[in-house]
């Protein structure tokens, strides 16, 4: 009844004392309204007091170390004000294995076994820059066939790696379906890597001067089938995930990285290309690998948000599958190993080789003193720099966006901790 | 193709772009520019005084467009007193190095002290990078922070600080990055032993076993392909 009065829709019949009851006159009604307004104002003030109290106290949210969003064991300590992040600090080191120290006590061929484990879902690509740096110092160049096999397996490592991302990011946003497609279809690629190298995850297939073995019979045909499956998977994800309204509203405009900031933090790979920076070491660096012989395109996206990082990676996966097919079509014949001594001593010198790995730019600064082991190896990994932007990026976002941003930056803990 | 082999050789041996970059650094830094090393067509390393560390980075970023920070790290040039730990004597016999030999030999662009900082910055527009080295003193190694120039330097410098014990002057948040709190020592220094190698024999110490019928010390040139 009073509500009707407040709303101002007053019918003449309601002004009769019978309907309005004891406080039926208009003046009393107005008093009640004022009182309610006062209560409303008092309520607002009380809310404000509570808000101020929450702000002063704050809250600390620990994410990880064991959290699916961390791809390993990363702990993030976020200080919150309500739902908003005031500051976030990643704490790593749970998986630090001291690879830079360990390389100093291993011979060059032994180092490849070790560095396989840096980015463990795209392992083949980890070996390549180190081997190239050692070859550069030894003045050895692998024969063309070996370079083509390397490039093909490199790109297949990239596909296997990014397929996991394409299934994993939707999971972290609450859509579990995509990961099953990803695991199912990634297996086709891993099977091919396994049948050529003997290892699903850790091929250890590169040698200084070439690759370990030639490709098995029938491999080229099977790989082409697998590449077709990869493209089917990309189409599926495009429909299922990228076209999804919820996915878009969780990702669009979340975690925007301006290109200048990205560069100053040393971001690389798809994270930087999603901010509109047209830079890909496969195209832009001199490399003995076979990328220069291929017809392909570098994908960029102008937005710089989480969605564009997903979009760029999806396009890259598809592009890589075409690259693998081109490589297999153009596979030259010939030897797979150059002449190298059986006991490898790398001449004194320094060499820095960087390649465009699945997670971004990865480089090895190899310092040799002409001994059996490297004197010092500085391992520049992509995830380390990609994650270093996270305190800047997470400041001021809301709690659910933490998962979105971390997922979209896509890091592998082994690639941060080394 | 009309280019003869001689043209190609002449082209490879000089690198006008990298020489020009080294020259601009030399002009900018004056006496603080110490040395340079150019691998034609591939790499440029310059060595500067540690006092010009921040100046060189600012110059590279603002004037040369090297806005992309690749990495910052350090090198300990002291020869390792431990070698590969177990069986190190065999290694030294094989490579001709004496275990007591503590003479330091530094790498490209030289060096005078045991610790050397090095960083790499890159220009995404020009696709060219430069490695900048700077000697830091041995007793109390210290260098200025690069965070005002490249915000991403923070983590790299924390790693250098804990792994090499090189102080980063002006770093606002110098805490351990990887190591546990309270860890003693700087693991990437050469005089820090790799304890795992001492407590347990490691089968990988013998990397290449002699082929059947082959002399033990033969260093075959027949290629590693089986």
Give the list of residues 6+ apart from residue B140 with CB closer than 8 angstroms, or none: B167
Chain segment B83-108, per-residue pLDDT in tens: 666 556 656 665 666 656 667 777 77
DSSP conformation class of B79:
P
Residue A321: pLDDT band (50, 70, 90) is very high
Above 50 in pLDDT, residue A192? yes
DSSP conformation class of A13:
G
- From the CA atom positions of chain A, what is the Rg in Å? 29
| Secondary structure E strands in chain B | 33-39, 43-48, 68-76, 115-123, 128-136, 142-144, 167-169
Taking contacts as CB-CB distances below 8 angstroms, the residues of chain A near B80 are 104
Quick one: tokens of B150? 């490249």
Q: Which of A90, A96, A102, A263 is best to mutate for the B interface (most B CBs within 10 A)?
A: A263
pLDDT of residue B33: 82
Residue A3: pLDDT band (50, 70, 90) is very low
Residue A8: pLDDT band (50, 70, 90) is very low
Residue B49 near residue B136 (C-beta atoms within 8 A): no
Cross-chain residue pair B95–A371, CB shorter than 8 Å: yes
Whole-number Cα distances in Å, A131 to A289, A327, A411, B64: 12, 20, 23, 30
Q: Which domains does chain B have, with CATH numbers?
A: 14-205 (3.30.460.80)
C-alpha to C-alpha distance for B165 and B168, rounded to whole angstroms: 9
Residues of chain B numbered 23-82 and touching chain A (CB < 8 Å):
41-43, 45, 67-71, 73, 75-76, 80
pLDDT of residue B4: 46
| Closest CB to A101 among B71, B83, B188 | B188
Lowest mean pLDDT of A44-48, A407-411, B164-168, name the range: A44-48
Q: What does pTM read for this prediction?
A: 0.80
Select from B44, B199, B188, B185 the least CA-distant residue to B122: B44
Residue A74 near residue A412 (C-beta atoms within 8 A): no
pLDDT of residue A311: 92
Using a 10 angstrom Cβ sphere, with 0-12 exposed, 13-18 middle and 19 or more buried, the burial of residue B85 is middle
- Higher pLDDT among residues A221 and A59, named by residue: A221
Chain segment A197-233, per-residue pLDDT in tens: 888 888 888 888 888 888 888 899 999 999 999 999 9
Lowest mean pLDDT of A67-76, A114-123, A136-145, A149-158, name the range: A67-76
pLDDT of residue A289: 87
Above 70 in pLDDT, residue A55? no
Select from A1, A90, A73 the least CA-distant residue to B175: A90
Chain segment A97-113, per-residue pLDDT in tens: 888 888 888 888 888 88
Cross-chain residue pair B219–A110, CB shorter than 8 Å: no
Cross-chain residue pair B208–A337, CB shorter than 8 Å: no
Residues of chain A numbered 260-299 and touching chain B (CB < 8 Å):
260-261, 263-266, 268, 277, 279, 284-286
Residue A14: pLDDT band (50, 70, 90) is very low
Above 60 in pLDDT, residue A317? yes
Taking contacts as CB-CB distances below 8 angstroms, the residues of chain B near A378 are 71, 73, 118
Q: What is the mean pLDDT of residues A309-319?
A: 91
Q: Which CATH number among 1.10.645.10, 3.40.190.10, 3.20.20.450, 3.40.50.10300 corresponds to the domain A99-412?
A: 1.10.645.10
CB environment B191-211: b (16+ within 10 A), e (fewer): ebebeebeeeeeeebeeeeee
Residue A172 near residue A69 (C-beta atoms within 8 A): yes
Question: Closest residue of B to A343, CA-based?
Answer: B219
Query: For chain B, which residues score pLDDT lower than 50?
Result: 1-11, 217-226
Shortest Cα distance, chain A CAs vs residue B31, angstroms: 25
C-alpha to C-alpha distance for B196 and B185, rounded to whole angstroms: 16
Shortest Cα distance, chain B CAs vs residue A107, angstroms: 7
Chain segment A282-303, per-residue pLDDT in tens: 888 888 888 888 888 889 988 8
Residue A312: pLDDT band (50, 70, 90) is very high
Domain-wise residue ranges, chain A: 2-57, 99-412
Chain segment A152-179, per-residue pLDDT in tens: 999 999 999 999 889 888 888 888 888 8
Decide if A356 touches B, using CB distance below 8 A. Answer: no
Cross-chain residue pair A341–B221, CB shorter than 8 Å: yes
Residues of chain A numbered 219-248 and touching chain B (CB < 8 Å):
none
């Amino acid at each position: 009844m009073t509500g009707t009065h407040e709303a101002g829709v007053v019918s003449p019949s309601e002004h009769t004392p019978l309907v309005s009851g004891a406080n039926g006159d208009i003046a009393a009604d107005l008093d009640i309204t004022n009182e309610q307004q006062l209560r409303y104002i008092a309520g607002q003030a009380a809310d404000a007091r509570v808000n101020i109290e929450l702000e002063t106290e704050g809250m600390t949210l620990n994410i990880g170390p064991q959290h699916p969003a961390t791809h390993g064991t990363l702990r993030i300590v976020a200080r919150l004000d309500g739902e908003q992040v005031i500051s976030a600090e990643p704490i790593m080191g749970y998986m630090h294995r001291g690879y830079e120290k360990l390389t100093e006590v291993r011979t060059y061929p032994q180092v490849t076994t070790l560095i396989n484990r840096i980015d463990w879902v795209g392992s083949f690509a980890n070996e390549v820059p180190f081997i190239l740096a050692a070859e550069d110092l030894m003045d050895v160049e692998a024969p063309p066939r070996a370079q083509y096999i390397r490039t093909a397996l490199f790109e297949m490592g990239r596909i296997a790696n990014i397929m996991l991302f394409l299934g994993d990011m939707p999971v972290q946003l609450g859509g579990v379906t995509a990961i099953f497609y990803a695991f199912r279809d990634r297996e086709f690629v891993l099977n091919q890597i396994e049948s050529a190298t003997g290892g699903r995850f850790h091929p250890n297939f590169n040698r200084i001067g070439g690759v370990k073995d030639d490709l098995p019979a029938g491999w080229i045909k099977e790989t082409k089938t697998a590449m077709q499956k990869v493209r089917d998977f990309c189409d599926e994800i495009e429909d299922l995930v990228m076209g999804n309204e919820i996915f878009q509203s969780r990702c669009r405009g979340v975690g925007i990285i301006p290109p200048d900031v990205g560069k100053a933090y040393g971001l690389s790979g798809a994270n930087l290309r999603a901010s509109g920076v047209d830079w890909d070491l496969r195209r832009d660096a001199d490399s003995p690998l076979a990328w220069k012989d291929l017809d392909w395109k570098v994908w960029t996206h102008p937005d710089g948000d989480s969605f564009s990082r997903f979009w760029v990676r999806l396009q890259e996966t598809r592009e890589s599958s075409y690259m693998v097919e081109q490589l297999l079509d153009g596979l030259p014949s010939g030897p797979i190993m150059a002449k190298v001594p059986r006991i490898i001593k790398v001449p004194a010198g320094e060499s820095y080789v960087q390649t465009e790995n699945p997670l971004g730019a990865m480089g090895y600064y190899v310092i040799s003193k002409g001994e059996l082991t490297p004197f010092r190896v500085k391992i520049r990994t992509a995830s380390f720099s990609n994650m270093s932007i996270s305190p800047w990026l997470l400041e001021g976002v809301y709690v659910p966006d933490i998962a979105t941003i971390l997922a979209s930056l896509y890091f592998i803990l082994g690639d941060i901790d080394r | 193709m009309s280019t003869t082999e001689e043209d190609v050789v002449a082209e490879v041996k000089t690198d006008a772009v990298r020489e020009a970059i080294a020259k601009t650094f030399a002009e900018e830094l004056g006496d603080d520019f110490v040395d340079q090393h150019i691998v034609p067509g591939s790499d440029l390393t310059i060595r500067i005084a540690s006092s010009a560390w921040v100046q060189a980075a600012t110059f590279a970023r603002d004037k040369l467009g090297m806005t992309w920070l690749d990495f910052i790290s350090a090198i300990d040039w002291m020869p390792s007193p431990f070698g590969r730990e177990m069986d190190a004597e065999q290694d030294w016999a094989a490579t001709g190095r004496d275990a007591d030999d503590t003479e330091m030999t530094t790498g490209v662009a030289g060096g005078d002290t045991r610790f050397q900082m090095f960083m790499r910055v890159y220009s995404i527009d020009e696709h060219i990078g430069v490695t900048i080295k700077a000697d830091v003193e041995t007793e109390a190694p210290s260098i200025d922070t690069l965070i005002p120039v490249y915000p991403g330097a923070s983590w790299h410098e924390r790693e250098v600080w804990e792994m090499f014990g090189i102080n980063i002057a002006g770093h606002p948040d110098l805490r351990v990055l990887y190591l546990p709190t309270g860890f003693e020592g700087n693991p990437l220094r050469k005089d820090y032993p790799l304890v795992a190698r001492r407590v347990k024999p490691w089968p990988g110490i013998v990397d290449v076993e002699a082929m059947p019928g082959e002399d033990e010390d033969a260093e075959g040139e027949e290629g590693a392909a089986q």
